[in-house]
């Protein structure tokens, strides 16, 4: 049975039993404390916590999941994976154990010909929590499972909670006996390799207080409404139903693995090391494609860092299989889209965008490998020079963080040089970085406040009504105040607070649009609002400072936004939509939005592209957008179903969350997007759009910055004044300026080259004199010289080599030249072969000089360079070199 059919049967079974089929949520977690969705129940967490009302009491889904804590183990075993799919049925205060246990048994044991999975009843075992007599009795008395195949386990194995105060309860796990060839008898408690877990049924029936560990928590009492949460791993089910040993041999993963083997000339099962690489590639390709499809872009932080690491581990393992600089990611991406497209049709419609992002990351990393290898070689040389055998954790982290080197690559290359790596130090730095990223991700939405405070307020007060599409001011009631992370009844003048109203015209930051600012006035206070966020869906929180008086929960309030600021932001937001459409028109549909920021009078727009956008395309997009502005098209916003919006061609931005009902914003027939932001009413209100720059912000992602309205006009006015000034100074008409400036620049560059040649010749002219005046130190000719200030480091090096070359081959010679190219001193030492035979080494002598200069340096025994921060100490440095030579010669 194919994976897609397993998912279809699961959804159909529960749909026929009154469950609402919920599409998989994005891998981008809505929970600000999570980067990515790690479990099938995460999207349903707000329902279990009572923060939101579920769309139905019975739900069923196939949820995409990503887990990366064990990413280094992927491939080494056949159990670990980063991407997986979780089948789950959920009851929010509806049915409980009496119904969910028979549901699970029926679906598993019903013959395949009748729509079930066809498991032999004799092959199934279950575990229950040690004190859960109720579940054990249902399994035995209602289902008919023999008691000897019902095993009891403790808190660590058969009790579930979220790790924080909230709902929790016992669980019952269902296992499939794969047979004696896989291990010993005795059920799951004896051998979980033979007895493979296929389904976990969680019974949320208790309210937990403090949670200290998996098996250490306080139970406050029973929940008033009991819930069910189940999870069945699709990949594990596929392995059983397809009769293969592990998840890498199932229909989806194996096709990617086999394609990687074909491309690299490998064969799975022939070499254990190659098998590890093939498994990494197969797993990571699925994870990478699914993350890009959900709007994640490779970067050095947050979710983007997870994606970058996954893609670069894939590329690294392709190289280990002999791929070299060959680019195979496009082919593997195509295979992955073909494999997963049945369950996730959006992969096929977004194939071009997915290819663009992954192809660009591959090209970037192959270049990075070349650069990073040079940095690695320097680190190895530095370690060996210091007589060390361990590459520092800081250096390994720098290679990883700055140059994208996977740690396994650093470990392998270090081993080739006879070195080890301080892995503990590396992982400590990685952990610190992850914790910073996690804190930063949550801080923007929650303001460093425990998100449970917002959840409790939403539960008590309900969803806040947003009035800002029609109104810029409104009457409201103060329903909550938060100060320093805690709910308070009142706040006085000078207090920084977070204010919750029952209705508001203030737009909360989202969809790339900055938050509104303004003032909230109550009968006894005035609060200046500087930021507005939505830390949990449905709750709009106004952040500000009480300027005067005292605000009290329950007060009536008048909320008023800064209208001019809103209008300027709305112009930017509408312009962003139009520029997005323009780039798609000229670059193709793969030019998909990857981020934006709409500020007053200006915006930035990020989009996927394989390379720099030609100036001609930028001009064409700008011209087209401004032509649309002149047409003064009507801007309409309306609500419809997600399906209807897609049918009419509305663009959905990946990484955004959409419900069943969506808001569509259209600019005439030119642009149509799903968007919750604020906009102008007619395109002519934008006045003017001016693109002012285009650049790369990461592999496969470009950024355009632009000005709108009066800001664009002022920019062009300043440009016009500047052009007029240049025209006057150069005595040329405006249209002649490019040619005239090019001529001047060409002449200037030629003059600079001639000056450089003359200056270099002047510096090198003293080489003969320096050699002739060398001091004799015990049979060694020593030259120490300070070059004129401004002499380049390259010329200092040339002079040192020139002087060294003037000594006979049998005459030991040491040449040390110092100078100040800019504001920092540089020293170069050169030692000929005869000098090196006397034990004199350029690297050590430069180190002596650089230390006197307040810096450091090094290099090879024959030529070395260093520097410092004390130009006034050059004489001292040269004297230190002479002393070091004398000491070396005894």
pLDDT in tens, 804-829: 999 998 899 999 999 998 778 999 99
Backbone angles phi, psi at 801, to 5 degrees: -70, -35
85 beta partners: 64
Confidence check: pLDDT of 841 > 70: yes
% residues pLDDT > 70 (the chain)? 97
Average pLDDT, the chain: 89
- Give the mean model confidence (pLDDT) for residues 721-748: 90
Q: What is the pLDDT of residue 447?
A: 46
Residue 284 known to bind ligand: no
- CA 808 to CA 518: how far, in whole Å? 82
Residues 6+ apart with CB under 8 A from 272: none
**Between β-strands 465-466 and 473-483, what pairing exists: parallel, antiparallel or unpaired?**
unpaired
Torsion sign over Cα 348, 350, 356, 361? negative
pLDDT, tens digit, 9 for 90 and up, residues 330-378: 999 999 999 999 889 989 988 988 998 899 889 888 877 777 777 788 8
Q: Which region holds residue 181: left if phi is over 0, alpha if psi is between -120 and 50, else beta?
A: alpha
- Name the region of 324 (left: φ>0; alpha: ψ -120 to 50; beta: rest): left
Q: Binding residue per annotation — 679?
A: yes
**305 vs 90, residue with greater confidence:** 90
Give the tokens for residue 400: 């990883």
Q: Where are the alpha helices (DSSP H) in 592-672?
A: 615-630, 642-647
DSSP state of 224: E
- pLDDT > 90: percent of the chain: 58
Cα–Cα distances in angstroms (integers) from residue 49 to residues 19, 95, 167, 402, 429, in the given order:
20, 17, 7, 40, 34
pLDDT at 856 over 80: no
**pLDDT attached to residue 152:** 96
- Banded model confidence at residue 450, pLDDT cuts 50, 70, 90: low
Using CA atoms, how far apart are residues 610 and 359, in angstroms rounded to an integer? Answer: 8
- Label residues 398-416 b or e (16+ Cβ within 10 Å = b): bbbeebbbbbebbbebbee
> Between β-strands 863-867 and 856-859, what pairing exists: parallel, antiparallel or unpaired?
antiparallel
Alpha-carbon distance 865 to 861, whole Å? 11
- DSSP string spanning 505-557? SPPPSBTTBPPP-EEEEESSEEEEEEEEEEEETTEEEEEEEEEEEEEETT-EE
- Helices 272-293 + 351-385 axis angle, to 10: 130
Nearest CA to 494 out of 520, 527, 469 is that of 527
Give the pLDDT of residue 329.
Answer: 95
Helix (H, G, I), strand (E, B) or coil at 780: strand
Confirm whether 3-249 and 451-560 share one CATH topology.
no
**C-beta separation of 439 from 528 below 8 A:** no
Pairing of strands 390-391, 490-492: unpaired
The pLDDT confidence band at residue 445, using thresholds 50, 70 and 90, is: very low
* Angstrom distance (rounded) from CA 250 to CA 254: 6
Question: Quick one: DSSP state of residue 788?
Answer: P
Cβ contacts of residue 82 below 8 Å, gap of 6+? Answer: 66, 67, 68, 71, 74, 283, 284, 287, 310
Within 13 A of 21's CA, how many CA atoms are on the CB side? 12
> At residue 33, what are phi and psi to the nearest 5 degrees?
-90, -5
Rounded CA separation 340/242 (Å):
17
Q: Do residues 393 and 428 lie in contact, with contact meaning Cβ atoms separated by under 8 Å?
A: yes
Q: What pLDDT is recorded for position 58?
A: 96
What does the alpha-carbon distance between residue 589 and residue 568 come to, in Å, rounded to a whole number? 28
Helix (H) or strand (E) holding 713: helix 710-730
Q: Distances from the Cα of 661 to the Cαs of 398, 639, 657, 676, 715, in angstroms? A: 46, 7, 11, 11, 40
DSSP string covering 105-154, please? HHHHHS-GGGTS----GGGEEEEEETT-HHHHHIIIIII---GGGEEEE-
Q: Binding site annotation covers 355?
A: no
115-129, 154-168, 807-821: least confident range: 154-168
Task: Give 522's strand partners.
Answer: 557
Q: pLDDT class for 768, splitting at 50, 70, 90?
A: confident
> Is domain 3-249 in CATH 3.30.930.10, yes or no?
yes
| Phi–psi pair at 671, nearest 5 degrees | -135, 140
573 marked as part of a ligand binding site? yes
Scan for tokens 């309900």, then name that residue: 462
Q: Tokens 């070059």 appear where?
A: 787
pTM over 0.75: no
Mind listing the pLDDT tens digit for each residue in 312-334?
Answer: 889 988 988 888 778 999 999 99
pLDDT average, residue stretch 110-130 = 95
Q: Phi and psi of 784, rounded to 5°?
A: -125, 135
Q: pLDDT confidence of 287, banded at 50, 70, 90?
A: very high
Tell me the residue ranges of DSSP E strands in 668-711: 671-674, 689-698, 701-708
Residues 324, 263: contact at Cβ < 8 Å?
no
User: Lowest-confidence range among 400-404, 605-609, 631-635, 720-724?
Assistant: 400-404
What local confidence, expressed as pLDDT, does residue 64 receive?
Answer: 94
Domain 566-717, CATH among 3.30.980.10, 2.40.50.140, 1.20.1070.10, 2.60.40.1930: 3.30.980.10
Rounded CA separation 438/538 (Å): 23
Model confidence at 654: pLDDT above 70: no
Can you give the pLDDT at residue 446? 46
Q: Does domain 451-560 have CATH number 2.40.30.130?
A: yes
Please compute the mean of the pLDDT values over residues 16-44 and round it to a whole number: 88
Predicted pLDDT at 712: 92
Give the residue from 179, 187, 184, 176 showing the smallest Cα distance to 148.
187
Q: How many whole angstroms separate alpha carbon 642 and alpha carbon 739?
A: 54
- Reading the block at residue 836, the tokens are 């090196």
Over residues 178-227, the pLDDT tens digits come to 999 999 999 999 998 899 999 999 999 998 888 888 888 989 888 878 99
Tokens 């030259």 locate to 783
Q: What whole-number distance in Å separates Cα of residue 221 and Cα of residue 209?
A: 9
The pLDDT, as a whole number, for residue 659 is 65
Q: What is the pLDDT of residue 443?
A: 54
How far is the C-alpha of 821 from the C-alpha of 795, rounded, in Å?
10
Mean pLDDT in residue range 565-588 = 94
Fold of the domain built from segment(s) 766-889: Diaminopimelate Epimerase; Chain A, domain 1 (3.10.310)
Domain range list for the chain? 3-249, 251-443, 451-560, 566-717, 766-889
34-50: average pLDDT? 85
pLDDT grade for 657, boundaries at 50, 70 and 90 = low
Give the pLDDT of residue 834: 93
pLDDT in the model for residue 438 = 61
Is residue 60 helix, strand or coil?
A: strand
Supply the pLDDT for residue 262: 94
> Residue 282: what are its φ and ψ, rounded to 5°?
-60, -45
Give the pair of three-digit tokens for residue 644: 């209807």
Find where tokens 């479990």 sit: 39
Cα(229)–Cα(59) distance, rounded to whole angstroms?
Answer: 10
Q: How many residues does the chain have?
A: 890
């Amino acid at each position: 049975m194919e994976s897609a059919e397993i998912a279809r049967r699961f959804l159909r079974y529960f749909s026929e039993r009154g469950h609402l089929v919920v599409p998989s949520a994005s891998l981008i977690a809505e929970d600000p404390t999570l980067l990515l969705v790690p479990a099938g129940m995460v999207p349903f967490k707000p329902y279990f916590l009572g923060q939101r009302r579920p769309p139905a009491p019975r739900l069923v889904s196939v949820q995409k999941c990503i887990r990366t804590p064990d990413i280094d183990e992927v491939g080494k075993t056949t159990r670990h994976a980063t991407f997986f799919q979780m089948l789950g049925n959920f009851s929010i205060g509806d049915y409980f154990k009496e119904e969910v246990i028979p549901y699970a048994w029926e679906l598993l044991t019903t013959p395949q010909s009748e729509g079930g999975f066809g498991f032999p009843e004799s092959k199934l075992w279950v575990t229950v929590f040690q004190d859960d007599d109720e579940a054990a009795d249902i399994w035995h008395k209602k289902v008919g499972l023999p008691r000897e195949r019902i095993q009891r386990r403790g808190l660590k194995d058969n009790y579930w909670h979220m790790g924080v105060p909230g709902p929790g309860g016992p669980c019952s796990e269902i296992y499939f006996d794969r047979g004696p060839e896989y291990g010993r008898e005795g059920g799951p408690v004896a051998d979980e390799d033979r007895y493979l877990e296929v389904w976990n049924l969680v019974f949320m029936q208790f309210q937990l207080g403090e949670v200290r560990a998996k098996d250490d928590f306080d139970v406050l009492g029973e929940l008033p409404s009991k819930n069910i949460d189940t999870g069945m791993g699709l990949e594990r089910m596929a392995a059983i139903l397809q009769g293969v040993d592990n998840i890498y041999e199932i229909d989806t993963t194996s096709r990617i693995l086999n394609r990687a083997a074909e491309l690299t000339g490998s064969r799975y099962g022939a070499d254990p090391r190659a098998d590890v690489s093939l498994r990494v590639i197969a797993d990571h390709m699925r994870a990478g494609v699914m993350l890009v499809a959900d709007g994640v872009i490779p970067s050095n932080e947050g979710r983007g860092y997870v994606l970058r690491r996954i893609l670069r581990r894939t590329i690294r393992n392709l190289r280990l299989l002999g791929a070299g600089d060959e680019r195979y990611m496009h082919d593997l991406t195509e295979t992955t889209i073909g494999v997963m497209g049945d369950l996730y049709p959006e992969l096929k419609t977004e194939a071009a965008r997915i290819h663009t992002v992954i192809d660009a990351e591959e090209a970037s990393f192959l270049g990075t490998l070349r650069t990073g290898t040079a940095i690695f070689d320097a680190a190895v040389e530095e370690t060996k020079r210091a007589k060390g055998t361990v590459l520092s954790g800081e250096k390994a982290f720098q290679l990883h963080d700055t140059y994208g080197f996977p740690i396994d690559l650093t470990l392998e290359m270090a081993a080739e040089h006879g070195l080890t790596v301080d892995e503990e130090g590396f992982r400590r730095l990685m952990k610190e970085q992850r914790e910073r990223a996690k804190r930063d991700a949550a801080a923007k939405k929650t303001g460093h406040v425990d998100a449970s405070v917002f959840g409790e307020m939403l539960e008590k007060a309900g969803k806040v009504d947003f009035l800002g599409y029609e109104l810029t001011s409104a009457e409201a009631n103060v329903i909550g105040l938060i100060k320093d992370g805690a709910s308070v009844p009142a706040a006085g003048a000078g207090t920084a607070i977070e204010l919750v109203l029952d209705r508001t015209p203030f737009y909360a930051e989202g969809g790339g649009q900055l938050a509104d600012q303004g003032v909230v006035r109550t009968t006894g206070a005035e609060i200046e609002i500087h930021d507005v966020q939505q830390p949990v869906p449905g709750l709009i929180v106004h952040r500000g400072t009480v300027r005067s008086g005292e605000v009290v929960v329950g007060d009536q309030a008048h909320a008023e936004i800064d209208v001019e600021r809103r209008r300027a932001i709305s112009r930017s937001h509408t312009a962003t939509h139009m520029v997005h459409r323009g780039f798609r028109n000229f670059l193709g549909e793969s030019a998909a939005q990857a981020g934006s920021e709409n500020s007053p009078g200006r915006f930035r727009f990020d989009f996927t592209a394989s390379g720099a956008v030609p100036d001609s395309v930028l001009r064409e997009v700008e011209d087209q957008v401004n032509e649309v502005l002149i047409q003064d098209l009507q801007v309409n916003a309306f609500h419809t179903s997600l399906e209807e919006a897609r049918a009419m061609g509305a663009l959905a931005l990946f990484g955004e969350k959409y419900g069943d009902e969506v808001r569509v914003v259209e600019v005439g027939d030119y642009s149509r997007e799903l968007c919750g932001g604020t906009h102008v009413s007619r395109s002519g209100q934008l006045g003017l759009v001016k693109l002012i720059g285009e650049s790369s912000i990461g592999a496969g992602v470009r950024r355009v910055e632009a000005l709108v309205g009066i800001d664009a006009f002022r920019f062009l006015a300043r440009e016009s004044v500047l052009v007029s000034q240049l025209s006057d100074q150069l005595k040329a008409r405006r249209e002649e300026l490019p040619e005239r400036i090019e001529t001047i620049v060409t002449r200037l560059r030629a003059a600079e080259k001639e000056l450089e040649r003359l200056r270099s010749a002047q510096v090198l002219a003293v080489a003969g004199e320096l050699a002739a005046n060398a001091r004799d130190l015990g049979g060694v000719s020593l030259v120490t010289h300070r070059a004129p200030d401004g002499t380049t480091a390259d010329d200092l090096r040339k002079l040192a080599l020139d002087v060294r070359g003037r000594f006979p081959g049998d005459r030991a010679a040491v040449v040390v030249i110092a100078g100040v190219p800019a504001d920092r001193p540089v020293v170069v030492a050169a030692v000929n072969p005869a000098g090196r035979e006397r034990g004199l080494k350029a690297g050590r002598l430069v180190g002596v000089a650089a230390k006197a200069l307040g810096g450091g340096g090094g290099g090879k025994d024959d030529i070395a360079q260093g520097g410092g921060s004390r130009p006034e100490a050059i004489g001292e440095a040269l004297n230190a070199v002479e002393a070091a030579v004398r000491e070396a010669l005894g």
